[in-house]
A and B are shown apart, each in its own frame.
Chain A
Amino acid sequence: MSFELPKLPYALNALEPVISQKTLEFHYGKHHQAYVNNLNNLIKGTEFENADLDTIVKKSEGGIFNNGAQVWNHTFYFMSFKPNGGGEPKGALAEAINSTFGSFDKFKEEFSAAAATVFGSGWAWLVKNDAGALSIVKESNAGNPLRDGLTPILTCDVWEHAYYLDKQNLRPKYIEEFFSILDWDVVSARY
């Protein structure tokens, strides 16, 4: 099976000024595409040649894991956005966030702190466990919570390539603005 770069449900300039067209051209058009290409090349002739992406993320190691998980993570990240997004989640996810963190603002604070303190390249995640309980986890590099039996709900890419052209060293500013392009309908449906 060969993996393909998924189409984005918005134009490359649709997330400006939070994420610039130039950043998306590289982040989606180059980085994400390279992970897809590398994965397709690496799985040839291995036990993962016909595996689905979740299986690759859960079971593989080394280069196959790095590229497979980065394909998964970036698709999940890019699909969480829409122009004029933001606001707050509704329904069951909103209730779960309130009961776990106290309020949406407290959740934002904790998620933002996690994203700001991933040292080096990585991802911040909102996840749920089998019982539906929410938590926030940090992962380095290509890390993905599926490997710990957790279900991802939301992620923020804090590799510098996600924000350096737009915000340079100001990662906290990127994280703050990240919330204003979220598509909470998509994110809530994952819960």
Chain B
Amino acid sequence: MAFELPQLEYAYDALEPHIDARTMEIHHTKHHATYTANLNGAVEGTELEGQSIETILANISKHSVAVRNNGGGFYNHNLFWTVMSPNGGGKPSGELASAIDKAFGSFDALKETFNKAAATRFGSGWAWLVKQADGTLAVTSSANQDNPLMDIADVKGTPILGLDVWEHAYYLHYQNKRPDYIGAFWNVVNWDEVTRRFKV
């Protein structure tokens, strides 16, 4: 079965003023759609056809550059849309809040670490909050469309929160001011979804 571009659970303008409608629409209907189509093209007729995206990414060192770039682009944007919500923001609670305090000292310290990872990723890429194999949390960043599920990642684990810092994610609204975009992101983080991913 071919990979499908997911629908968003909110309107393109629902994250304004933090992320503008035009950016959301182009990001979803052009960039994400292209990764999805190119991933399908890259796996069609190969042994990867029918594998889950998670399985493909876990063995990415064995696959082509096209599968790496487009598979990562497909997965990363799928995650990105779900960890944002017009009703987002605030702070996590419960087990996730405890795990954050344990790993970083406080929620504010997590934000600081995550913001730095996102701001200092040179060129295109992503910042991640990752649940590692031993259950502890870590912050990392990856270049281009790589992610922590890939067997080539510096910090491996299950991404539970991701922030796209490709310029296409923010340039129409924030231009060179990436730190402003990163700061605004916290207003739309869907902690229910991040918590769900943490508990899986």
Give the interface of A toward B (CB within 8 A).
26, 30-31, 34, 66, 119-122, 140-142, 159-161, 164-165, 168-169
Contacts and interface: CB of A to CB of B under 8 A. Distances in A.
B33 to A, nearest CB: 10
Of all A-B residue pairs in the complex, the 6 with the closest CB atoms, nearest first, are A160-B167, A121-B123, A120-B124, A141-B123, A120-B144, A30-B176
B176 A164 contact: no
Nearest to B73: A119
Contact of B175 (A30, A141, A159): A30
Contact of A142 (B31, B69, B122, B175): B122
B167 A165 contact: no
A119 B171 contact: no
A168 B166 CA distance: 12
B166 to A, nearest CB: 7
Given A121-B167, A169-B26, A169-B30, A160 B124 contact: yes
Interface size class of B (residues with CB under 8 A): 20 to 34
Interface in B68-101: 69
B172 to A, nearest CB: 7
A168 B176 contact: no
Contacts of A159: 123, 167
A3 B168 CA distance: 30
B122 A164 contact: no
B172 A121 contact: no
Interface string B108-122: 000000000000001
5 contacts: A119-B65, A120-B123, A120-B145, A161-B167, A165-B172
A122 B123 contact: yes
Contacts of B175: 26, 30, 161, 165
B168 A169 contact: yes
Given A30-B175, A34-B176, A169-B30, A119 B69 contact: yes
Contacts of A119: 65, 69, 144-145
Given A26-B176, A66-B122, A120-B125, A160 B144 contact: no
